[in-house]
Amino acid sequence: MAFKSVNPLTGDLIRRYDTWNEAQIETALSQAAAAAPAWRALDMETRAAHLRRVAEVLRARRDEYAALMTGEMGKLIREARAEIDKCAWVCDYYAEQAADFLADELIETDASRSLVVYQPLGTVLAVMPWNFPFWQVFRFAAPALMAGNTGLLKHASNVPGCALALEGVFREAGIPEGVFRTLMIGADQVGAVIEDPRVHAVTLTGSEPAGRSVAAAAGAQIKKTVLELGGSDPFIILEDADLDLAVEVAVTSRFLNGGQSCIAAKRFIPVEAIAEEFLSRFRAEVENMTCGDPMDEATRLPPLARHDLRDQLHKQVVESIRQGAVAVTGCMPQPGPGAFYQASILDQVRPGMPAYEEELFGPVAIVIRARDETDAVRIANDSVFGLGGSVWTRDSARGERIARQLECGCAFVNGLVKSDPRLPFGGIKHSGYGRELARHGIREFVNAKTLWIR
């Protein structure tokens, strides 16, 4: 089998990469195991210095890495550059904060001294998606490595160039050989790696089926997992919302990264009193989102990452329309070689339709109208997913009250749902479990060990 890097703008093959055989996997696993003792023995300051150098490499090669991502999965070049900046930020953030997050905690007991110490688990396997090819990886790698773990990356098959470039970042920064390795393996080879005793924990960011499969394999081996899965975030617009702001952020949130973000607002839930006004203003903005070359700074809507993903999205849209949803705008693939899908709005979405029940991973906004605030919260929580959510109201106390009722890992009031190294990130329900980022993220892959001393 081979990985193919295909430009989603043109459909052209960029390059083929051979997948690894067992001997190559074995070499990487033994390198990770060999590197682990020296890496965990380093003091925090030395590991922090390494991470700061990683951030420097990222900043120095920002344009090159951004162009690589845009070429392989089609994201807008300006969003790609911002993604590299964010990766450098998360490295600096953990270099600065890790010593505090993992400091010994003294606890008064009947011992003369008792405390909790945080120690690395060993080697963590990360199975990652293509939508933020660099950010998703650094979100795992910066805290995992700072905590003293070594890392193995199995990246999505459509971004092999990024997968190898990521390993190159760590190499160029002088991180010791084996501390971070990319495995050029397919999904069908992940199970064997999870079973290997030299792998101690697994983190997966991706779809629900991939999460189930990886968690089952890790569970059978009693290995810790963190799962960051799909979402269908609600965006509740109340009658007292600042509609100018709500519409502006609705467009940003839904269409960022070509609509391929786990925490994009996907279900727009306006209350009856402002539903028509919200929809007509939203529609006017969405109709301005024209498709174009992602390398062009002026483009607002890039192609989707792969043609098969566009086909899958269109199937969900067509089936929802067949069941009674209304295409307000778009809802069609754009003709031509690029994997473009028109910026779309589906109104009158109801339970049972794919658009209601499933994640739509592309530039399609779903509208589900609510009678009032109570109905809006009910609809928001009527989902198997629980990643993020937002509420739009001029009354921030009301917003906070509603945000507390939302069944999700993060709820924002009058703001774009986004990840931030300083705030924990993750979901509940079928959106997964565990947290990345902040203090919570670095504590996922450590042993919180009790010491009791007389």
* Residues carrying an active site annotation: 228, 262
Residues facing 165 on adjacent strands: none
Residue 424 near ligand NAP by CB under 6 A: no
**Residue with Cβ nearer ligand NAP (48 or 76):** 76
Taking the complex as a whole, the smallest distance from the CB of residue 47 to ligand NAP amounts, in Å, to: 25
Taking the complex as a whole, the smallest distance from the CB of residue 186 to ligand NAP amounts, in Å, to: 5
Whether residue 13 contacts residue 177, with contact meaning beta carbons closer than 8 Å, is answered with no
* Residue whose tokens read 């609510």: 370
Q: What is the dihedral of CA 371, 376, 379, 384, to 10 degrees?
A: 170
The piece of 70-78, 210-218, 283-291, 326-334 that touches ligand NAP (CB under 6 A) is 210-218
Whether residue 299 contacts residue 363, with contact meaning beta carbons closer than 8 Å, is answered with no
Q: How many residues bind ligand NAP (CB under 6 A)?
A: 30
Residue 225 near ligand NAP by CB under 6 A: no
The piece of 11-19, 30-38, 42-50, 124-132 that touches ligand NAP (CB under 6 A) is 124-132
What is d(CA 392, CA 239) in angstroms, rounded to the nearest whole number?
A: 9
Residue 230 near ligand NAP by CB under 6 A: yes
CA–CA distances in Å: residue 142 to residues 119, 158, 283, 441: 16, 23, 40, 10
- Give how far the C-alpha of residue 354 lies from the chain's centroid of Cα atoms, to the nearest Å: 22
Residue 157 near ligand NAP by CB under 6 A: yes
Whether residue 134 contacts residue 87, with contact meaning beta carbons closer than 8 Å, is answered with yes
**Residue with Cβ nearer ligand NAP (91 or 156):** 156
Taking the complex as a whole, the smallest distance from the CB of residue 344 to ligand NAP amounts, in Å, to: 18
304: how many CB neighbours lie within 10 A of its CB?
26
**Residue with Cβ nearer ligand NAP (206 or 399):** 206
Handedness of CA 158, 162, 164, 166 (dihedral sign): negative
Q: What is the dihedral of CA 403, 408, 412, 413, to 10 degrees?
A: -20
Residues facing 436 on adjacent strands: 425
Q: Give helix 44-60 / helix 62-73 axis angle, nearest 10°.
A: 70
What is d(CA 427, CA 429) in angstroms, rounded to the nearest whole number?
A: 7
Residues of the chain by 3-state class (helix, strand, coil), percent to 5: 45, 20, 35
Taking the complex as a whole, the smallest distance from the CB of residue 374 to ligand NAP amounts, in Å, to: 28
Residue nearest to ligand NAP (CB): 206
Within 8 A by CB and 6+ apart from 222, the residues are none
Residue 210 near ligand NAP by CB under 6 A: yes
Residue 207 near ligand NAP by CB under 6 A: yes
Residue 361 near ligand NAP by CB under 6 A: yes
**Residue with Cβ nearer ligand NAP (259 or 399):** 259
Q: Are strands 2-6 and 13-18 parallel, antiparallel or unpaired?
A: antiparallel
Taking the complex as a whole, the smallest distance from the CB of residue 395 to ligand NAP amounts, in Å, to: 30
9, 77, 125, 190: which one contacts ligand NAP (CB under 6 A)? 190
Residue 128 near ligand NAP by CB under 6 A: yes
Residue 228 near ligand NAP by CB under 6 A: yes
Residue 359 near ligand NAP by CB under 6 A: yes
Taking the complex as a whole, the smallest distance from the CB of residue 313 to ligand NAP amounts, in Å, to: 11
Residue 142 near ligand NAP by CB under 6 A: no
Residue 231 near ligand NAP by CB under 6 A: yes
Interface with ligand NAP by CB under 6 A: which residues?
Answer: 127-131, 136, 154-157, 186-187, 190, 205-207, 210, 213-214, 228-231, 262, 359, 361, 387, 427, 431-432
